[in-house]
Structures are given as structure tokens and as C-alpha cells.
């Protein structure tokens, strides 16, 4: 969504590289480019003015003028200001101290409230909560049925006493849902309310009546991140008419410019709490302003990537694979396929790669990445015999032709997979032996590296530095005399001296029976 803004800001910062000092003209030109980038991204004009003014003021301050790298300091300032307009800190749900926590969803029709209700329910269920969905959208055709289907998909019960399609009182349904949750011991109630194609008095009154009937702990305004400048107008009208505690952005995976996400929190003063960025029920999480700012500035989002990996990866399988590699050094094609399948659980490969720092420059390649590549790898590996998967060295020319035919691929595809597998196994074995990343100098135990034991054994003994001699003749003579005196005082002498070994042995004063050890 923020691709255009990211590219524009990246080009702006590129012009600053290599400058040891920023002039007033450089700061003005940078601010102008940032202003254009934000306006093109559909960010609201008041937000743009405030943002650019803050950046210019800080750019003229001491933190930039005295910095060793002014360009990096400007990037740091822009990052911090982006975090500020996105809400500053991550805002989490407030849960009721007694009774079920009531969460009410409000917003325009088409914003994705019904789907988002199920996503939120699944997210809460994964947090250890026992949510219940409430079908209080009784106007939109099949809204009740849609919520019931989504509830079945995520394994969360749906309270739907009315059929909907214009039949029933949403206020009564919402009020009865709280009593139902208490009776069935649900600790969270998520109320899906009706939307409209535009903001009108009827919508506002109905939403306000539901709010007054159930007194929700959280009212979340659901907004489509793709509707542009109108999102800010709608958000403000809902705030004035109904009131809400936080914002949920949907369709963040779309190709719109995304200015709504940068505007709502700043104009309304209400934080963005959640973000939905995909069609799957799991494509939903807390909104972190600092992480979103990092994505916009192509700094990556490693924390989100790590969190997703922790949820998707099978810890037991990963531990067994690591132990197997550490003890026997074996890593088979079956293990390779298992790891690939676990990576696939993270979601779209292009989305995963996009979370890595600096991947903005490869956006075109990521956009054109074929997500079916893992399917092809799986087809090739599963066309092999168990013996071939356990020992890929058995795969000769005739076997490769058979595997290619069985998987519907070319022999060259089989060759590439086998070659990549051997490279991956070699790298992982090196990491397991050395306890670090191959190619990183100074890592302990790495074969062939300066820090490894083998490397230390192969290293020639270092020659000590010679004694420094003063360039002053008088001082040099004093140093020579002192060194001679020190050598004369040494009990062991020097290799050039004549040593009386018999006298030295007698001086050792060995025990009487020690002579038997010298025979």
C-alpha cells in the first residue's frame, strides 16, 4: 500500500547521501520532496503541513548540524515524526475487570466489519480468550449468514436470534447478547453493527442506541484504508456522532496510496489499534506505529516477521531437525521440504521478503514472484524415492530424468533443486559446527576463520615486535646499557652466554631420592 510513498522518500534521501553538511537549500529541497510524497499518498493537507514543519524545524537544529552523517539523521527525524502521526505508541485493548468485555464495531458499509469481527475473534481466541460474535447487522442482506459462516471458520460461536434481512431489532439483540455471554461464560462479546453507503442520521442513531444499551468497553471504528481523503471526513463524523476509542484499518494489502492510515490518528486523536492486511482470517494483528514507519522507510519489520515465525513454526519439528543436524550432520530432502512448508505457513513469500530491510529496491521482483515455486519444489521432492530423498547423491542422470517426468518439470529444474539443496546443507552444517554464521569474521569455532580452533592451530606463531630504540644517540646508549644490566641480572642468562649447568643443578636443591627420575 505504501509503495509509492516509500519509493518517493527513498529517492529523496538518496540525494542527501555523501553530504558532510546540509545547507539551508538542501533542507528546503528535502522538505519540498517529502511534502509532495505525502500529498501524492493522499495524506490529509493539515497533517502534511504539520509533519513537514516539524521535520524542517528539527533538521535546522543541532542534532543535524553537529551529526557525523546528516543524511542518516534526517532519516531518523522523518522516522520519528512518522511514528508520531501514526499514533506514537501501540494501543492495546482494555478488558473489563468484571463481566464480559464488550467490543462494538462501527463503520460504513463495505469497510469489512463482518469479516473483521471474525478476524478479531480468532485473534482473541489465540490470546486465550473465549469470545462470542453477535449478529446485530440486521439490515444488509445475508449479513447474519455471513457472520455465522465466518464464525464457523474460526471456531467461535455466533449469537444470532434474528434472521436479519430487515427483520429484528439490533438494539434488543445487542442487549440480549451480553446476558447470553454471562450465561455461557464468554469473556468477550464482539458486536457487528450495520453499516450504510454513506453517513446518515439513521446510522448514527442506531449505532448510538446500541452503544447506550450495552455500554461497550471499546468502540472500534472500522475504516477501509483504500477510500483516501474521505476516510478522514468519515472518521471525524463518526467521532462526533457516536464516538469511538480506536480505529481498525482494513485492506492494507490493497494498491491504494494509504494516506488514510497516516491521517486518521493525527486528525481525530484516536489511535489505530488493529490492521487487517489480507483475505485470510489470520491476516490481522495489532497496529504498531514504529513498525509501520519502518516499512514505509524501507527499514523492514523484523519484529513482526519473528512474531509470525514463532506462531507458524512447529517448535518441536525445528528442534528435532537442529538436533539431527548437530549430532549426525544429516539433512535430507525430506527435512528440506518440511522447512519449506513451515516457511509457507508464514503467508505470501513476497510479503515475508518485503519485511526485510532494504527490500524496497527489489519491489518489482517481489511483485512478480511466483508463489507456486514451493509447490514445484514439493512436486519434485515427492517424485523421488525414499532412498533418494535420504541420500541425494544417488540421483544420477537417469534418475533425474525419471524425477522430472514424474513431477512434470524439466531436468534442469531437478538439477537446480539438488544443487541448491547441497549448498543449503553445506551452509547449515558449517553453522552447526561453528556456532555462527558462515562468512562472519571472528565468529568462534568457524572453520577457516580467524576465531576458529583449526585456524588457530594453523596460524604461524607471531613474531614479537623488536625493542624500540631512540633516535637520540645519548638516549640509545642509555637503553643499551640498561638492557645489558638486566640480562646480567637474569638467573637464566641468555642463549649466547656460557652457563655452568652443574652449578645450576646443585643450586636446585632436589630431594635425595629425586635422582631415580632422571635415569
Angle value at C-alpha 195, between 190 and 196, nearest 5 degrees: 175
Residue 24 C-alpha from the chain's centroid: 36
108 is in an annotated binding site: yes
Cβ-contact 257, 41 below 8 angstroms:
yes
112 is in an annotated binding site: yes
* Chain position carrying cell 523492514: 300
Taking the C-alpha atoms of residue 230 and residue 44, their distance in angstroms, rounded to an integer, is 10
66 is in an annotated binding site: no
Taking the C-alpha atoms of residue 502 and residue 430, their distance in angstroms, rounded to an integer, is 55
Taking the C-alpha atoms of residue 67 and residue 56, their distance in angstroms, rounded to an integer, is 16
185 is in an annotated binding site: no
Give the H/E segment covering residue 62: helix 62-65
7 is in an annotated binding site: no
39 is in an annotated binding site: no
410 is in an annotated binding site: no
416 is in an annotated binding site: no
Taking the C-alpha atoms of residue 179 and residue 191, their distance in angstroms, rounded to an integer, is 13
Radius of gyration of the CA atoms of the chain, in A = 35
DSSP string, 111-137: S-HHHHHHHHHHHHHHTT--EEEEEE-
251 is in an annotated binding site: yes
252 is in an annotated binding site: yes
107 is in an annotated binding site: yes
Residue 359 is placed in which grid cell?
527490500
Cβ-contact 102, 193 below 8 angstroms:
no
192 is in an annotated binding site: yes
DSSP string, 406-442: HHT--HHHHHHHHHHHHHHHHHHHHHHHHTS-TT-TT
196 is in an annotated binding site: yes
Task: Give binding residues as ranges.
Answer: 107-114, 192-196, 250-253
Task: Give binding residues for GTP as ranges.
Answer: 107-114, 192-196, 250-253
Amino acid at each position: 500500500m505504501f509503495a509509492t510513498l516509500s519509493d518517493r522518500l527513498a529517492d529523496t534521501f538518496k540525494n542527501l547521501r555523501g553530504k558532510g553538511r546540509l545547507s539551508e537549500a538542501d533542507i528546503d529541497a528535502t522538505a519540498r520532496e517529502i511534502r509532495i510524497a505525502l500529498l501524492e499518498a493522499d495524506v490529509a493537507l493539515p497533517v502534511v503541513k504539520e509533519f513537514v514543519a516539524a521535520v524542517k524545524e528539527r533538521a535546522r537544529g543541532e542534532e543535524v548540524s553537529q551529526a557525523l552523517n546528516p543524511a542518516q539523521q534526517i532519516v531518523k527525524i522523518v522516522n520519528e515524526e512518522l511514528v508520531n502521526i501514526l499514533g506514537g505508541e501501540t494501543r492495546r485493548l482494555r478488558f473489563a475487570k468484571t463481566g464480559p468485555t464488550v467490543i462494538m464495531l462501527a463503520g460504513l458499509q463495505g469497510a469489512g466489519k463482518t469479516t473483521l469481527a471474525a478476524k478479531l475473534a480468532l485473534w482473541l481466541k489465540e490470546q486465550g480468550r473465549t469470545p462470542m460474535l453477535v449478529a446485530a447487522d440486521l439490515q444488509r442482506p445475508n449479513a447474519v449468514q455471513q457472520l455465522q459462516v465466518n464464525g464457523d471458520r474460526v471456531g467461535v460461536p455466533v449469537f444470532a436470534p434474528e434472521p436479519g434481512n430487515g427483520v429484528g431489532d439490533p438494539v434488543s439483540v445487542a442487549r440480549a447478547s451480553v446476558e447470553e455471554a454471562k450465561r455461557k461464560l464468554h469473556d468477550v462479546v464482539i458486536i457487528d453493527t450495520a453499516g450504510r453507503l454513506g453517513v446518515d442520521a439513521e446510522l448514527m442513531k442506531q449505532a448510538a442506541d446500541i452503544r447506550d444499551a450495552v455500554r461497550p468497553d471499546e468502540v472500534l471504528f472500522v475504516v477501509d484504508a483504500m477510500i483516501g481523503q474521505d476516510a478522514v471526513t468519515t472518521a471525524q463524523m463518526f467521532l462526533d456522532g457516536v464516538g469511538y476509542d480506536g480505529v481498525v484499518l482494513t485492506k492494507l494489502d490493497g494498491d491504494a496510496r494509504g494516506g488514510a492510515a497516516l491521517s486518521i490518528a493525527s486528525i481525530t486523536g484516536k489511535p489505530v489499534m488493529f490492521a487487517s492486511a489480507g483475505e485470510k482470517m489470520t491476516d490481522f494483528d495489532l497496529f504498531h506505529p514504529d513498525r509501520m514507519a519502518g516499512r514505509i522507510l524501507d527499514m523492514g519489520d523484523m519484529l513482526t516477521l519473528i512474531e509470525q515465525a514463532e506462531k507458524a513454526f512447529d517448535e518441536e519439528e525445528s528442534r528435532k531437525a537442529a538436533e539431527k543436524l548437530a549430532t549426525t550432520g544429516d539433512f535430507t530432502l525430506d527435512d528440506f521440504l518440511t522447512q519449506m512448508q513451515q516457511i509457507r505457513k508464514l503467508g505470501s513469500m513476497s510479503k515475508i521478503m518485503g519485511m526485510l530491510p532494504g527490500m524496497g529496491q527489489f519491489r518489482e521482483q517481489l511483485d512478480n514472484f511466483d508463489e507456486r515455486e514451493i509447490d514445484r519444489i514439493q512436486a519434485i521432492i515427492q517424485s523421488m524415492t525414499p532412498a533418494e530423498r535420504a541420500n541425494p547423491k544417488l540421483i544420477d542422470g537417469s534418475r533425474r530424468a525419471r524425477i522430472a517426468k514424474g513431477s512434470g518439470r524439466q531436468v534442469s529444474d531437478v538439477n537446480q533443486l539438488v544443487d541448491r539443496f547441497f549448498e543449503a546443507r553445506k551452509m547449515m552444517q558449517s553453522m552447526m559446527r561453528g556456532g555462527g554464521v558462515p562468512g562472519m569474521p571472528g565468529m568462534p569455532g568457524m572453520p577457516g576463520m580467524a576465531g576458529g580452533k583449526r585456524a588457530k592451530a594453523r596460524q604461524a606463531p607471531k613474531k614479537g615486535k623488536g625493542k624500540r630504540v631512540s633516535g637520540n644517540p645519548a638516549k640509545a646508549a642509555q637503553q643499551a646499557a640498561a638492557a645489558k644490566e638486566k640480562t646480567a641480572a637474569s638467573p637464566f642468562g641468555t642463549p649466547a652466554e656460557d652457563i655452568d649447568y652443574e652449578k645450576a643443578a646443585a643450586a636446585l636443591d632436589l630431594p635425595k631420592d629425586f635422582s631415580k627420575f632422571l635415569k
